[in-house]
Amino acid sequence: MTPTVAATRMNVPWSRFLGRHMTLAIGAGILGLFLAVALAAPLVAPYDPIYQDAVVRLAMPSLAHPFGTDNFGRDILSRVIWGTRIDLQIAVIGVVFPFLIGTFIGTVAGFFGGIVDTVFMRLVDIILAFPFLVLMLSIIAILGPGLSSFYIAMALVGWVSYARLIRAQMLVLKSSDYAVAAVSLGFSRARIMFRHLLPNAVAGSIVFSMSDAVLVLLNGAAISYLGLGVQPPVAEWGVMVAEGQSFITTAWWITLFPGLSIVVLAFGFSLLGDGLGEWLGVNE
Amino acid sequence: MSSPVLSIRDLTVKVPIDGETRTLIDAVSFDLAKGEILGLVGESGSGKSMICRALVKLLPSPAIAITGGSVLLEGKDLATLGEDAMREVRGAKIGMIFQNPTSHLDPVMRIGDQIAEGIRYHQGFGHEQARAAAVEILGQVGFPDPERQYDNYPHEFSGGMRQRAMIAVALSCNPKILIADEPTTALDVTIQAQILRLLMDLRDRRGLSIILITHDLGIVAQTCDSIVVLRNGQLLEHGPKRRVLAEPRHAYTVSLLKSHPSMPDEGGAVEVEQIAQQTRLQPLLEIDDLVVRFPTPRLGLFSGRKKQIAAVNGVSLRVMPGETIGIVGESGSGKSTLARAILGLTPLSSGHITFGGSDLAQQPRQTLAKLRTEAAMVFQDPYNALNPRLTIGDMLAEVLKVQGNTPPDGIPERIGELLDLVELDRAFMTRRPRSMSGGQCQRAGIARALAVNPKLIIADECVAALDVTIQAQIIDLFRDLKTRMNLTLLFIAHDLAIVRNLCDRVVVMYRGEIVEEGRCDAVFANPRHAYTAALISAIPDIDPDKPLPKGDLPPRNEPKGAPVLRGQPLISMQ
Amino acid sequence: MHRYRFVLFRPLQFLPVLFGISIITFILVRLIPGDPARVLLGARSTPTAIARIRAQYGLDEPLWLQYFYFLENLGKGEMGKSILYKIDVLKLIATRIEPTLTLVLTSVLLSILIAVPMSALAARNNGRLADHAVRIVSTLGIGFPPFWLALMLIILFSVRLGVFPVSGYGETIGDKLAHLVLPSLTIALSLSAVLTRSLRAAMIVVLKSDLATAARARGMPESLVFWRHVLPNSLVPTVNLLAVNIGWLIGGTVVVETVFAIPGMGQLLVRAIFSRDYMVVQGVAMVFACATVLVNFLADIVTVSLDPRVRL
């Protein structure tokens, strides 16, 4: 029913829109919550995330410390709250640059075809042959541990998925009738490429970027867990899990809560992606 | 006639949408006699497919439900039958065939196994027995080598053979009733005639009763015994074929009959004379020995040199200003490639295209510039032809801006004029294609073509995707525009009747070559080429006294796996 | 069967990719800031040792010649010596393949065993409670960090219930498998979530497709429609997804091997990074990349066998 679809996309009160797009609404809600917590970290965190209180080492969750404390007596809740800043940043920066680079390369390669296309797509094949994490680790091994190394490695490696997606879309759209019509009406190549084809091609990538954010978040946390990303004592969820590992038999809460935060944030991104997919009519 | 096999009374189907209940089928009643072929006619949205889905209770969504009425088959009311009992009816009592055999056959299962599957389940046959039965049915529906073809997969057959396979599947359990939902719409006209012949043969041999759903009155006139006309889920008219065709009682039936393109048309011939006299001048478009080749998809690294196949192979054509030329041919005949080559959208392999005196091969820059400002195209799929993100107003404004002939402050007024020209309300300026009907989109597409103020318009199958009444309106619009604006029109179609109504001259293409060319009335009255003759005789005429040719049509070799160009080549951005 | 002819020719098409892999792995080590020889030697960098290393690796030569030596050595099966283990990198890796390969295989098997029934359950009850449950669980599942999930499983099964070993790798086959239960489960829970999401969506599309309608229209019961028509038609995209995810799967084993102290290639890689054993990093990256290429090739063969329309 085409008219119904059209109606949902405009002139519908917010309440009804959200009712129809539960997934989108919940996903956006979760992300909004994390964003708010990240921005307001100094206000909502009950303690200083790196303050070591020797009196309350390895304390069970209680009213004073809802998520308990670690072996240095640091408050886990406060560390989780401050960690939101780092992990959200990892997911966003780790997606934005690959998205921009990949979209540009994919658009150009798909639109022009020929030698440009061949060269870039060979490069994509080669990079895709390396297991993502392995290539990331190798690059970080060379650049040295740290968050900036992680971002550089992301930009070098992450663009390939976007380039592939956009290129495939461009190939389809390039032969669509409205592209042919645009050529036959004498529109310039840049106009066809960026005004007519790219806006129609990019929807799939936006949806994909949400599941990519999950992947980047998990990888960023994993690299930090391995000790090659964010360095202690900075509060980051992957680092916190690593720090709690020695105490899992006695103080499970050190490990549990930062991990749960990753799961919930990832859930938010996934739901937002699914919701956007439904809304924009994109099937991944 | 004897007592009915199937008796439908007050069948009502409803669906709840947004708290309201919409009636999809509104108390429809009719009978189907033994051996009768009943034509269910209507345009899209008329509910003709929905009725048949309701008969076997395979409604497209669980929300849609039969809310009233009865469907009597052998004393049982299917409308109240449970799911288990319905399974005994489906296939065994009522067989179904569908419009698109490609999507309705399981692509990863052998053709024969799909037939044998039903036989084994319904008749409890063993593996060998079922296979033997399936082979026999394959033979009956016209497979030349059923024993071997049992093991082929659907994609290894042509569209016509796939539809035969679909029929074989439907027949596998000896049903009394066959429901055929637009069984030939996706097929070329010569293949369509074969499939219709087959259905009538099967009716005669097996005493089948058939419900034939179609939008084509010609098919009804040729094959059916009685007609049911539907609109918006309501039955408007039901009666014997000849009565309904000769004396339609409902106004809508009258308009359907009027819209049917095979109705003879007066006045077409006069214009030709006038044009021929006016223009002793230069042709607007001259095509000389044009060849367009495409590389076939490469099979492997070592399959040698890339093979090329010629989509257009040595075509020559002269088009005078103001002339309307129809280009007809079946799928893969190269007619669309020709259109794209003329507009400089696909590279020429050899030959010449001269537009308004300049040669595309020799002066590409100049000729392309001329083509971009003096020629425009209208496409088949009205939705795919418009950028879904732009409103109609934005789309037209962009064309006017790029073309640069309209001063910026005159653009809104010009858009209004263009919409007036194509008889679209000016309110459509703010609409997007998604919220418009196919006919409205096609009008917007024509407005876009007119925005360049063209001398030449190439319309590529531009009515093929539309309902007949809308088709007739668009054809009228073209007829009106070409006289008012002195347009030259190249009208590409697979439907000969439409071409005959609109065009002065017709060009028949077959496998990349022009096999016949001439004045429309002359070609239709007296085709010289066997292929043209076959094409013309295969059109189901609305007059039941002009039957489809008996026996086999001239052979149309469709070698298995032959490279047929499907869809369009990628445009070259030069 | 000339549909399978690609099995002979396809490996030749991999040559450019393998060539690219060798260039990237070669470059990886050359990109190390500072003098590679000094870095390679670490604390033992005396001038004579540096000179010896430079000569040994041809570091004085132009880059393209160095690459040529690299390829030549590769042809002889040599990629340089590990600083930590003092044996040739490829030989070292060979001793580490078995645990990783077993882990990958058991994980894939386990994920398929989880994903197929879950997707079938969800798709056949589309829109009902079971479907929503599967959707939520699988969407949550893709967000589980493997390193954390591993620890949670250890707490639950090893610490609380005491059923599976906490870490390490056994000697006998039974012992090895027991040690692999939790690691495989860790990977399989995440991987099956990815597969379930794809397979469920594919199944729902096929269940609503024309071919399923046609099967119902010839009176086939819903269970036959599902297992004979819907499942085979939904598998192809999922096989491709599995192949695409092989890289992700290997990434998972790197982390999981580290958590569970399994002596596989992943653990080797992480240790090599910390001990600046660059030759080992280079070798592992290359072997993993070649494995990915091989898996994609296998996936192509499976795809062709599942779908008669596909030609490669």
DSSP assignment string, B398-436: HHHHHH--S-GGGHHHHHHHHHHHTT--GGGGG--GGGS
| Angstrom distance (rounded) from CA B553 to CA B531 | 10
Please indicate, yes or no, if residue C139 is contained in any of the structural domains: yes
- The per-residue pLDDT of chain C, averaged, comes to 86
Contacts of C223 in chain B (CB under 8 A): none
Task: Answer whether C20 sits within 8 Å of A218, measured CB to CB.
Answer: no
Number of domains in chain C: 1
| Angstrom distance (rounded) from CA A77 to CA A61 | 10
pLDDT at A121: 87
Those residues of chain B whose CB sits closer than 8 Å to some CB in chain C are 56, 58, 87-92, 95-96, 98, 100, 103-109, 117-118, 121-122, 153, 155, 166, 169-170, 172-173, 299-302
For the segment C147-152, the average pLDDT, to the nearest whole number, is: 93
Range of the domain at C210: 89-306
Q: If you measure CA to CA, which chain C residue comes closest to A253?
A: C152
Task: Answer whether C142 sits within 8 Å of A252, measured CB to CB.
Answer: no
Task: Answer whether C143 sits within 8 Å of A214, measured CB to CB.
Answer: yes
With bands split at pLDDT 50, 70 and 90, how would you rate the model's confidence at C57? low
Q: Count of alpha carbons within 13 Å of B504, Cβ hemisphere only?
A: 21
Tokens 């419009």 belong to residue: B99
Q: How many residues does chain A have?
A: 284
Q: If you measure CA to CA, which chain C residue comes closest to A259?
A: C148
Chain C window 262-281: which residues touch A at a Cβ cutoff of 8 Å? 269-270, 272-274, 276, 278, 281
Q: Is A126 on the interface with C (CB under 8 A)?
A: yes
Q: How far is residue A120 from each of residues A123, A205, B180, B208, B383, measured CA to CA in Å?
A: 5, 18, 50, 60, 32
> What type of residue is A189?
R
| Angstrom distance (rounded) from CA B218 to CA B224 | 10
* Domain of residue C180, CATH code: 1.10.3720.10
pLDDT at B262: 62
With bands split at pLDDT 50, 70 and 90, how would you rate the model's confidence at A3? very low
Q: Count of alpha carbons within 13 Å of C69, Cβ hemisphere only?
A: 14
Q: Is A119 on the interface with C (CB under 8 A)?
A: no
- Whether B455 and B284 have beta carbons less than 8 Å apart is answered as yes
Task: Answer whether A132 sits within 8 Å of C146, measured CB to CB.
Answer: no
Contacts of B95 in chain C (CB under 8 A): 217-218
| Angstrom distance (rounded) from CA A219 to CA A86 | 13
Same fold, B6-259 and B272-296+307-537: yes
Looking at per-residue pLDDT, the higher value among B543 and C232 belongs to C232
Chain B closest-CA separation from residue A5 CA (Å): 8
Size of interface A-C (CB pairs under 8 A): 156
Cα-Cα end-to-end distance for chain B: 66
Taking phi over 0 as left and psi of -120 to 50 as alpha, with beta for the rest, B151 belongs to alpha
Please indicate, yes or no, if residue C20 is contained in any of the structural domains: no
pLDDT at B555: 40
How large a percentage of chain A has pLDDT more than 70? 92
| Angstrom distance (rounded) from CA B12 to CA B70 | 9
Cα-Cα end-to-end distance for chain A: 22
Best residue in B44, B432, B571 for a mutation probing chain A (most A CBs within 10 Å): B571
Class of domain B6-259: alpha beta
pTM: 0.83
Helices B111-123 + B159-171 axis angle, to 10: 10
What is the tens place of the pLDDT at every residue in B153-212? Answer: 998 888 888 999 999 999 888 899 999 998 888 788 888 888 898 999 889 988 899 999
Please indicate, yes or no, if residue C58 is contained in any of the structural domains: no
- Whether C271 and C84 have beta carbons less than 8 Å apart is answered as yes
Q: Is A132 on the interface with C (CB under 8 A)?
A: yes
Task: Answer whether A267 sits within 8 Å of C143, measured CB to CB.
Answer: yes
Taking phi over 0 as left and psi of -120 to 50 as alpha, with beta for the rest, C211 belongs to alpha
> What is the pairing mode between strands B324-328 and B505-510?
parallel
Q: Is A255 on the interface with C (CB under 8 A)?
A: yes
Q: Is A241 on the interface with C (CB under 8 A)?
A: yes
For the segment C198-216, the average pLDDT, to the nearest whole number, is: 92
What is the tens place of the pLDDT at every residue in A203-231? Answer: 889 999 999 999 999 999 999 999 888 88
Give the tokens for residue B200.
Answer: 């009538």
Task: Answer whether A248 sits within 8 Å of C148, measured CB to CB.
Answer: no
> What is the pairing mode between strands B505-510 and B513-519?
antiparallel
Intervals of chain B under pLDDT 70: 1-2, 262-280, 296-307, 548-574
> Which of A2, A180, A200 comes nearest B345 by C-beta?
A180
| Angstrom distance (rounded) from CA A152 to CA C152 | 31
Give the tokens for residue C32.
Answer: 């190390």
For the segment C261-265, the average pLDDT, to the nearest whole number, is: 91
> What type of residue is A279?
W
Per CATH, domain B272-296+307-537 is 3.40.1350.10? no
> Which of C9, C214, C220 comes nearest B98 by C-beta?
C214
Residue A1 has pLDDT above 70, yes or no: no
CA of residue B320 relative to chain centroid, distance: 29
Task: Answer whether C270 sits within 8 Å of A226, measured CB to CB.
Answer: yes
Q: Is A7 on the interface with C (CB under 8 A)?
A: no
What is the tens place of the pLDDT at every residue in B20-36? Answer: 888 889 999 999 999 99
Task: Answer whether B117 sits within 8 Å of C220, measured CB to CB.
Answer: yes
Please indicate, yes or no, if residue C227 is contained in any of the structural domains: yes
Task: Answer whether A129 sits within 8 Å of C20, measured CB to CB.
Answer: yes
Which chains pack against A, by 3+ Cβ pairs within 8 A? B, C
Contacts of A183 in chain B (CB under 8 A): 345, 571, 573
Taking phi over 0 as left and psi of -120 to 50 as alpha, with beta for the rest, C176 belongs to alpha
3-state secondary structure of A75: strand
Interface predicted TM-score (ipTM)? 0.86
Contacts of B49 in chain C (CB under 8 A): none
Using a 10 angstrom Cβ sphere, with 0-12 exposed, 13-18 middle and 19 or more buried, the burial of residue B260 is buried
Domain range annotation of chain B = 6-259, 272-296+307-537
What is the tens place of the pLDDT at every residue in A149-207? Answer: 999 999 888 999 999 999 988 888 888 888 989 998 889 888 998 888 988 889 889 99
